[in-house]
Amino acid sequence: MQTNRRNTNKWYSSKYWLIALVSMASLTATAAVKVDKAAPNFQLTNSQGEQVSLADFSGKYVVLEWTNHQCPYVKKHYDSDNMQALQRKYTDQDVVWLSIISSAPGKQGHVSPDKAEQLSKSRNAAPSHILFDESGEIGKLYGAKTTPHMYIVDQQGTLRYAGAIDSIKSANPADIAKATNYVDASMASLAKGETIAKKLTPPYGCSIKYKS
Amino acid sequence: MTTAIVRVISLLLLLSFCTVAAGNQHSASGPHIRVSLLSEHQSLVVGQQQWLGIRLSPELEWHTYWRNAGDSGEAPNVSWQTNADINFGEIQWPLPEQIPVAHLVNYGYSGDILLMVPITLNSIDTLNATTENATTARISAELSWLVCKEDCIPGWATLTIELPISVTNHTSVDAGLFQQTRKRLPAPQKLNGKYEITEQFLTLSVEPPHSANWQLMPLRADLVQHNQKQQWLADNNSNSANVLLAKSDYFSVVDEPLEFLMTDGNNGYYLTAHYNQSPSVTNSAYKPPIWLLLAFAFIGGLILNIMPCVLPVLSLKAMALAHHANNEHDSNRSLSHWGYLLGILASFWLFAGLILVLKSGGNAIGWGFHLQEPAVIAALAFLFVFIALMLWDIAPSGAGFANLGNKLTEGVGFSSQFFTGVLAVIVASPCTAPFMATALGVAMVSPALDTLLIFTALALGFALPLSLLSLSPQFAKALPKPGPWMETFKQFIAFPMLATVVWLVWVFLGQTNSLAQLILLCGLLLFTLLIWFAHKSRGKKSLIALILAVITAIYISVSANNKVNENATNQQLPSARAKQNSQPYDPTLLSELRNQQQVVIVNMTADWCITCKVNEHVAFKDPQLNQLLQQSDVHYLVGDWTNKNNTILQYLNQYQRSGVPLYVVYAGSKSARILPQILTPEIVINAIKQAQQELNHANK
């Protein structure tokens, strides 16, 4: 009887960890967006100082790209012109491309609007808008973990892809040619009305430098 | 701005270093890190396994990564080149640490690390053929890495060493480093475990070799949320532990084996967890072929003939047939032969149809579901008493009704045959409800056509013996010759009838209360008295007595249902009297408790179910919850799914589940709420309290 009581106490203490764990898990579960569910709307300021919201682009495909120009994994895709080529390819097809910077002020990748414009010009980038998410609120709403982290929202506002830019997790530009580009593959499937083969992949890259 | 400048400089350094490292260096350095290629021995010996190592030495506060980097980061990558015939093995990863970075967790190494790789020189043939200096092997490692603090810097280098080939090998100056690193490697012993997948968690069962503060690190990055705390629960009954891991957002595992490293920082074991294939969950396992089901249903139907509540009715019938066995002048003989069979078929089909309709309506039902209504129980009690009275020849003699019972069941015409069939099915149901539940459980969860076929097979089996008697003169002639013994036998079989009444009245008590039972017993007494009076008197008086008897039966039966609702909450149930903390799950008990507007929590569990055990540890051992379960209006039913069990399967199927755990909290007949697969005491307590409130509101 005595042993039982002791055991009960033991579980009693460990139990609270579990409760904390379950509640944390449910928080993250509700916070992270779900593929094939409505993409939550947001409003952010762009590099021109204008307010841009996801709902403005209803009826168009929208690609979200979390970025940080100092991150080696972002550099891998910009120095090789891989990311800019995708931006040009899809913005030409009337797809809206939103590059989002969630780096907090003082942290890696945080830039002024002017600097952002300048970076776009120097790198020959072609996003529809560069958006600033200094508070990290939208990044966390979307569960963005790394730079790059890619999302595709369809014309109906449904999230159709979330994850890595491509299939090879490395900082080596030589791997780009060998990898399957998930944004390209997903957009192609969507255009053909097919189901996306990999609609949720683990992103790779640098951790997003959130405020906290 | 200064940090930006520093980063630009470090990038330039990186670029310059890449070119430098491309030469014949065995070591190189990048920003915040030095890397080198080392050998444990000074030379290579043919056919012997030897060790090379890649040493990564990051600066203070910088780190490199394990094979699974965790939420971000990247493991070092090596590809080998050599002019010799050498086999390179896999990297032996030392035990990593968990490195929290902002909101993420990585697995890696914050200090110096040696990534050891076993190599074997197979032969020196290629060296002879291709190089002048045949006694030296040249080995290059193309290495890429990522070194991080909060920011990360990738690096690449080609490291080269040359090792002479000899017949003896002496340890090199770096041998000590290899020896130290071996102490940091996981044990060669591999562990096995099992895992299950729930909505938000991965539950694992492992047997650690000794107790320690173990952590599991998955080899795959997309398995668990690395930044969530792991919950370890020791199992009191064995050495095993159950672990709860929060599922990754990118979780896509179906049932493939999963690999982990289990480590406490000093010791480590590789662990392969296999999907916990519950022994009876797969579809093919619980669905026997349809012909087998039909055969069982047919045999079941045959057995029904000898059930205590059916046998008397059929015996009467058989005796009637014996009477008429020699009567060759029966005009309707050919048609009437089929009456009994058709009566049974029609009744069973009606049942099957009703069940299909209710099933499509999503109702929780089972064979004998009509027995969950106290009114039906009461009505059956009256019917059985009436049959017993008839058997004792205390049948009413009033106008037109004089020989109704006899005519209907003892006659040989089509309608009487048909009626006997219907009556047989009705009277059979109390006996068959518990008996046939298993076979019919399968019918319930089968497609509509299968259900219909199973019921048909059951009906055919049930009807066979008596149909044979009536169809074939040979069989009929085999019956014992009629005589005075028949009268004695007829009177005797009234007792199994009354025994059934005793059972029904007991069931009735379970559904209602002792007052309702008293009223029913008084009603039965009055009914018997009236029938007896109808039997004794003649003409109008007899008819009035009979009508009064019928009214008594109907009134008592119908009012029985009201008793349930009026007295549900404050009565003493047979089950409540003997109340322990939990009772085994029983569908009849569940529906009784629900009808009585009780709070019921059903826990479907199994010994082999890891998730169930976790919940039993964490939630159901909670003292507060146990207090709640002790309350008189809360009932805790536990279903054990350890072995195959169709009753529970049927329950699981109601909730579109094919396995355990399943937790449902009922607020009487008002609502059913499915709880998540991972429980905390609070989840259960709140669900129970909510159900209590719901019932309280409904009563006001």
CATH of residue B671: 3.40.30.10
Give the mean pLDDT of chain B: 78
B424 and B536 together in one domain: yes
Using a CB-CB cut-off of 8 Å, the residues of chain B touching A108 are: 3, 7, 150-151
Mean pLDDT of B59-67: 93
End-to-end C-alpha distance for chain A, whole angstroms: 48
Most confident region among A42-56, B273-287, B396-410, B681-695 by mean pLDDT:
A42-56
Residues in chain B: 700
Instruction: Kindly write down the DSSP assignment for every residue of B390-442, as one continuous string.
Output: HHTT----STTTTTHHHHHHH--SHHHHHHHHHHHHHHHHHHHHHHHHHHHHH
Using a CB–CB cutoff of 8 Å, tell me whether B361 touches chain A: no
Q: Could you tell me the maximum CA-CA distance found in chain B, to the nearest angstrom?
A: 132
Domain final residue, candidates B535, B564, B593: B564
Considering only the beta carbons, identify the residue of B7, B104, B233 that sits closest to A14: B233
- CA–CA dist B98, B261 (Å, integer): 12
Tell me whether strands B662-667 and B671-674 are parallel, antiparallel or unpaired.
antiparallel
CATH of residue B200: 2.60.40
Q: Give a yes or no: residue B85 inside a domain.
A: yes
Whether A18 and B682 lie within 8 Å, measured CB to CB? no
Residue B620 pLDDT > 50: yes
Neighbours of B685 (CB within 10 A): 17
Residue A36 region by backbone torsions, left for phi larger than 0, else alpha for psi between -120 and 50, else beta = left
Whether A12 and B617 lie within 8 Å, measured CB to CB? no
Global model pTM greater than 0.80: no
Whether B231 and A14 lie within 8 Å, measured CB to CB? yes
Predicted local confidence at residue B476, as pLDDT: 63
Using a CB–CB cutoff of 8 Å, tell me whether B235 touches chain A: no
Using a CB–CB cutoff of 8 Å, tell me whether B249 touches chain A: yes
- Cα–Cα nearest to A63, from A50, A54, A76: A54
Using a CB–CB cutoff of 8 Å, tell me whether B686 touches chain A: no
- CA–CA dist B381, B376 (Å, integer): 9
Using a CB-CB cut-off of 8 Å, the residues of chain B touching A71 are: 151-152
Q: Give a yes or no: residue B551 inside a domain.
A: yes
- Cα–Cα nearest to B165, from B84, B88, B87, B81: B84
B540 and B642 together in one domain: no
Domain count of the fold of chain B:
4
Task: Read off the pLDDT band of B236 (50, 70, 90).
Answer: low
Considering only the beta carbons, identify the residue of B151, B222, B225 that sits closest to A28: B225
Residue A188 pLDDT > 70: yes
Using a CB-CB cut-off of 8 Å, the residues of chain B touching A8 are: 621, 623
Task: Read off the pLDDT band of B405 (50, 70, 90).
Answer: very low
Q: Quote the distance between the C-alpha of residue B632 and its chain's center.
A: 28
Q: What angle do CA B446, B450, B456 make, to 5 degrees?
A: 130
Q: Are A183 and A165 in contact (CB under 8 A)?
A: yes
Span A62-121, pLDDT tens digits? 999 999 999 999 999 999 999 999 999 999 999 999 999 999 999 999 999 999 999 999
Predicted local confidence at residue B91, as pLDDT: 95
How is chain A split into domains, by residue range? 1-31, 32-207
Whether B72 and A204 lie within 8 Å, measured CB to CB? yes
CATH of residue B163: 2.60.40.10
CA distance, residue A71 to nearest chain B CA (Å): 7
Considering only the beta carbons, identify the residue of B71, B228, B229 that sits closest to A207: B71
Predicted local confidence at residue A13, as pLDDT: 39
Q: Given the structure tokens 């209360």, which residue do they identify? A: B513
Element of type H or E holding B636: strand B634-640
Whether B252 and A200 lie within 8 Å, measured CB to CB? yes
Considering only the beta carbons, identify the residue of A21, A70, A205 that sits closest to B229: A21
Whether A200 and B249 lie within 8 Å, measured CB to CB? yes
B517 and B633 together in one domain: no
Residue B242's beta-bridge partner residues? B205, B233
CA distances from B168 to A116, B47, B123, B137 (A): 63, 12, 15, 15
Whether A19 and B244 lie within 8 Å, measured CB to CB? no
Name the E strands within B321-399: none
Residue A64's beta-bridge partner residues? A98, A151
End-to-end C-alpha distance for chain B, whole angstroms: 71
Predicted local confidence at residue A43, as pLDDT: 94
Which residue of B249, B613, B617, B678 is the best one to mutate when testing the A interface, meaning the one whose CB has the most A CBs within 10 A? B249
Angle between helices B494-511 and B514-536 (to 10 degrees): 150
Q: Give a yes or no: residue B284 inside a domain.
A: no
Contacts of A209 (CB under 8 A, 6+ apart): A68, A102, A103, A104, A107, A108, A109, A110, B102, B150, B151
Using a CB-CB cut-off of 8 Å, the residues of chain B touching A206 are: 72, 151-152
The residue of chain A with its CA nearest to that of B244 is A18
Domain final residue, candidates B182, B201, B224: B182
**Which of B49-58, B247-256, B419-428 has the lowest average pLDDT?**
B419-428
Using a CB–CB cutoff of 8 Å, tell me whether B252 touches chain A: yes
B308 and B271 together in one domain: no
CA distance, residue A143 to nearest chain B CA (Å): 9
Mean pLDDT of B294-321: 73
**B residues 298..337 contacting A (CB < 8 A):** none
Using a CB-CB cut-off of 8 Å, the residues of chain A touching B7 are: 70, 108
Residue B114's beta-bridge partner residues? B55
The CATH number that domain A32-207 falls under is 3.40.30.10
Domain final residue, candidates B182, B200, B222: B182
What range defines the domain where residue B246 resides? 187-275
Whether A209 and B104 lie within 8 Å, measured CB to CB? no
B302 and B409 together in one domain: yes
CA distance, residue A139 to nearest chain B CA (Å): 12
The residue of chain A with its CA nearest to that of B148 is A206
Residue B136 pLDDT > 80: yes
Contacts of B483 (CB under 8 A, 6+ apart): none
Q: Give a yes or no: residue B570 inside a domain.
A: no
Whether B617 and A11 lie within 8 Å, measured CB to CB? yes
Q: Are B245 and B226 in contact (CB under 8 A)?
A: no
Span A11-52, pLDDT tens digits? 333 444 444 444 444 444 334 678 889 999 999 999 999 999
Using a CB-CB cut-off of 8 Å, the residues of chain B touching A79 are: none
- Cα–Cα nearest to B316, from B462, B184, B493: B493
Using a CB-CB cut-off of 8 Å, the residues of chain A touching B77 are: 170
Which residue of A112, A207, A211, A212 is the best one to mutate when testing the B interface, meaning the one whose CB has the most B CBs within 10 A? A207
Whether A18 and B153 lie within 8 Å, measured CB to CB? no
B399 and B527 together in one domain: yes
Interface predicted TM-score of the whole assembly (ipTM), two decimals:
0.72
CA distance, residue A191 to nearest chain B CA (Å): 24
Span B630-679, pLDDT tens digits? 888 899 998 887 665 678 888 888 887 767 788 999 988 888 888 888 88
The residue of chain A with its CA nearest to that of B616 is A11
Using a CB–CB cutoff of 8 Å, tell me whether B1 touches chain A: no
Residue B309 pLDDT > 80: no
- Which one has a higher pLDDT value, B229 or B368? B229
Mean pLDDT of A159-185: 92
Considering only the beta carbons, identify the residue of A29, A73, A202 that sits closest to B222: A202
The dihedral through the CA atoms of A155, A157, A160, A163 has a sign that is: positive
Q: Are B80 and B90 in contact (CB under 8 A)?
A: no
B549 and B618 together in one domain: no
B173 and B205 together in one domain: no
Q: Give a yes or no: residue B286 inside a domain.
A: no
Span B518-565, pLDDT tens digits? 999 999 999 999 888 888 887 788 888 888 888 988 888 888 766 654
Using a CB-CB cut-off of 8 Å, the residues of chain A touching B248 are: 202
Which residue of B146, B202, B243, B250 is the best one to mutate when testing the A interface, meaning the one whose CB has the most A CBs within 10 A? B250
CA distance, residue B37 to nearest chain A CA (Å): 21
Q: Are B268 and B596 in contact (CB under 8 A)?
A: no
Whether A210 and B681 lie within 8 Å, measured CB to CB? no
Considering only the beta carbons, identify the residue of B72, B103, B250 that sits closest to A205: B72
- Cα–Cα nearest to B591, from B520, B502, B501, B507: B507
Residue B671's beta-bridge partner residues? B667
Whether A72 and B222 lie within 8 Å, measured CB to CB? no
Residue A3 pLDDT > 70: no
B22 and B91 together in one domain: yes
Query: A-B interface: how many C-beta pairs under 8 angstroms?
Result: 109
- CA–CA dist B382, B384 (Å, integer): 6
Mean pLDDT of A171-179: 90
Kindly report the three-state secondary structure assignment for every residue of B563-590. Answer: HHHHHCCCCCCHHHHCCCCCEECCHHHH
Using a CB-CB cut-off of 8 Å, the residues of chain B touching A163 are: 250
Residue B426 pLDDT > 60: yes
Q: Determine whether B465 is exposed, middle or buried from the number of CB atoms within 10 Å of its CB (0-12, 13-18, 19+).
A: middle
Predicted local confidence at residue B533, as pLDDT: 87
Q: Give a yes or no: residue B677 inside a domain.
A: yes
